[in-house]
């Protein structure tokens, strides 16, 4: 008799990136609302698409595929640090660290050699990256890292306009 798969085992999404991407936004692992809808940042109170709307005209008023296309046209790639993990619930704090299988970020940097900026959507993504990815990473060029406030509704310390002020750095680096 084979073992039943763990019901808390979750798998994230594929990377959204064109070869000419210059900035990468890395989350930790999609929340349950995102997994249910098969869309990055799908929770209605997540500020991500509000912010992308203000920065790049890729807001929640547009169809999801169009938002992704706009970001890619502007040089933005989206992905998560975690490819697969066990998480009971939807919060980053619920991720079982021993279960984490990271995404192939080395491969992404080789496929998209112009990425020079990595923006972490929250501290958890940055922590996981530094612990699981950075020690074995050999990027094709220098990369600048910046941790931004999480757009998650669980990060209620800042309202979405305060988050937008921090996140405007993404647009600034792409303007250079």
Domains and CATH numbers, the chain: 37-175 (3.40.470.10)
| Interval 128-169: pLDDT, tens | 999 999 998 988 889 999 999 999 988 778 999 999 999 999
Residue range 31-54: mean pLDDT, rounded: 95
Other Cβ atoms less than 10 A from the Cβ of 35: the count is 17
Band of the pLDDT at 100, cuts 50, 70, 90?
Answer: confident
Q: Which of 46, 103, 114, 121 is catalytic?
A: 46
| Percentage of the residues of the chain whose pLDDT score is greater than 90 | 78
pLDDT of residue 6: 59
Lowest-pLDDT choice from 16-30, 52-66, 79-93: 79-93
Distance CA 115, CA 118 (A): 8
Q: Say if residues 30 and 93 touch (Cβ distance below 8 Å).
A: no
Distance CA 139, CA 131 (A): 16
Contacts of 126 (CB under 8 A, 6+ apart): 120, 145, 147
Band of the pLDDT at 37, cuts 50, 70, 90?
Answer: very high
Mean pLDDT of all residues in the chain?
91
> Can 46 be counted among the known catalytic residues?
yes
pLDDT of residue 88: 80
Written as six digits, the tokens of 86 are 């066990």
């Amino acid at each position: 008799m084979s073992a039943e798969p763990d019901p808390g085992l979750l798998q994230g999404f594929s990377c959204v990136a064109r070869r000419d991407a210059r900035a990468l936004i890395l989350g930790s692992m999609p929340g349950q609302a995102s997994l249910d809808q098969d869309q990055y940042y799908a929770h209605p109170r997540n500020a991500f698409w509000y912010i992308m709307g203000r920065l790049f005209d890729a807001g929640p008023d547009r169809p999801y595929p169009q938002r992704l296309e706009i970001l890619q046209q502007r040089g933005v790639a989206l992905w998560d640090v975690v490819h697969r993990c066990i998480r009971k619930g939807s919060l980053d704090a619920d991720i079982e660290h021993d279960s984490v299988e990271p995404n192939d970020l080395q491969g992404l940097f080789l496929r998209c050699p112009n990425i020079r900026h990595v923006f972490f959507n929250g501290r958890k993504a940055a922590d996981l990256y530094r612990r699981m990815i950075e020690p074995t990473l050999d990027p094709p060029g220098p990369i600048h890292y910046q941790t931004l406030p999480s757009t998650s509704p669980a990060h209620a310390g800042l309202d979405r306009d305060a988050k937008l002020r921090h996140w405007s750095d993404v647009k600034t680096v792409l303007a250079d």
